[in-house]
Chain A
């Protein structure tokens, strides 16, 4: 039996499957109904990530443009877009860990970096480390650093004692301070 032609998402979105990813970027940028910025912001909020929404949106747009020409049209395009956002976030987190010098300063980090005694230029290093913490601990860190919640509430939500949570956060901060110390070298993989 002859194989069916693969239907790409690009075709479903009205673009030619022969166009390049760069051409498709301009096309997808114009499609406001995709609500990419809102989706990226929602992902950052629900995952408590220390990433810039603009950067995540740009990477997602680039990724969508590439994958739209490769993937077969899914049943649920909305879910497919969310999946691409998730992949884009993981890629950015990995890159920030591996090549931190290329990572831009995420806006939210600068706000609390000062209160933690971290130089603003090292905020991205701290974000890279925070982004690979388990989500519950990341959520607690975010709330505590921003001053939007208390240690007691965060500990209760995680089912931990205040002492245990404090110890975990102190461990994270010690690690971050070690990473951002003036004489600290960047770990290589």
Chain B
């Protein structure tokens, strides 16, 4: 197969060399390099070099597996954890895909670009499952995944309720395998779809404990703000909306939600701050902005009544002070 089109020169050379002369010179280099640096990484390199030296070609030009008696390198030890996190990722992608076909997924566009999954097809499941061989018993019921995704492959028309229930089940397994912030976000949305706001809130709080990325923290706070608004807690909603916008000032959805919350509470100062951020974010990500505007227009048409934000006495005055993009989105929604 031909090498990738545009990679940096070192890697280009690497790909060419390996393709022409599978690994022999490179393995020698690695051993020499390790012996030169023995004083620095004595223990780990000694183990790893033993494995590197042991790796050799089979008659067909493949690398054979290291002998069972050899001690595993640190990377090989890490592989078990990688199996687990990758399996969790696969389940999480399947959960998100189901969720997008559920009532919540169809009516409310919670998901942002960062969480859009790679499609979970039967081919993908089988491919990853072949890599997880021997780990399946520990990792979880792959049959469930195959069953759910197999059914989904058969037709575009799914019952939203069934998809929501499947999303909850898959997200729970993903969370059990490796409780990432992403899994918590999907789990929260699946709980929300099932009408369990308390479960959704618990999932968000758990997600905030493990979230290492600002974008994920923003999405979790965004959801907590939405739940607070549903509970009639305007101050709590605004608090989480502001925290979300501070964590990720580029997420159009997060900023829109904050602006809407500010307008509902008649909070002019935060509305102007968030409006300014939203204008910039929409300018940088015009595609998402357009998608959001279309979604807001659809919701307005389906509602057939003015939005709650318009009833606030200061709405007109605050609206007039906002930038044109924010004002456009408000008009599309209100």
Contact = CB atoms under 8 A, between A and B. Distances in A.
B111 interface: no
A13 B22 CA distance: 9
Contacts of A131: 212
B83 A66 contact: yes
B11 A66 contact: no
Interface extent on A, as a size class? 35 or more
B29 A32 contact: yes
Chain A interface mostly helix, strand, loop or mixed?
helix
Interface stretch (A21-29, A154-162, A175-183): A21-29
B77 A7 contact: no
A78 B8 contact: yes
A69 interface: yes
Contact of B212 (A12, A75, A132): A132
B10 A11 contact: no
A14 interface: yes
A150 interface: no
A29 B48 contact: yes
Interface stretch (A86-94, A107-115, A164-172): A86-94
A11 B22 CA distance: 11
A142 to B, nearest CB: 16
A131 B131 CA distance: 31
A97 B178 CA distance: 12
B131 A70 contact: yes
B7 A22 contact: no
Interface stretch (B59-67, B101-109, B230-238, B259-267): B59-67
A18 B133 CA distance: 13
A18 B62 contact: yes
B212 A63 contact: no
Interface string B114-135: 0000000000000110010100
Contacts of A94: 178-181, 210, 212
A13 B3 CA distance: 8
A189 interface: yes
Nearest to B134: A20
Contact of A189 (B29, B73, B179, B214): B179
A12 B63 CA distance: 15
B26 A31 contact: yes
B82 A24 contact: no
B144 interface: no
B79 A77 contact: no
Given A15-B63, A25-B75, 6 more contacts: A16-B60, A20-B131, A21-B82, A33-B14, A34-B11, A69-B131
20 contacts: A12-B15, A13-B18, A14-B23, A16-B60, A25-B73, A26-B51, A29-B51, A30-B29, A58-B73, A62-B79, A70-B127, A75-B4, A75-B5, A75-B6, A75-B7, A76-B7, A77-B15, A78-B11, A90-B212, A94-B178
State the 3 A-B residue pairs at the shortest beta-carbon distance, nearest first. A14-B18, A26-B55, A62-B78
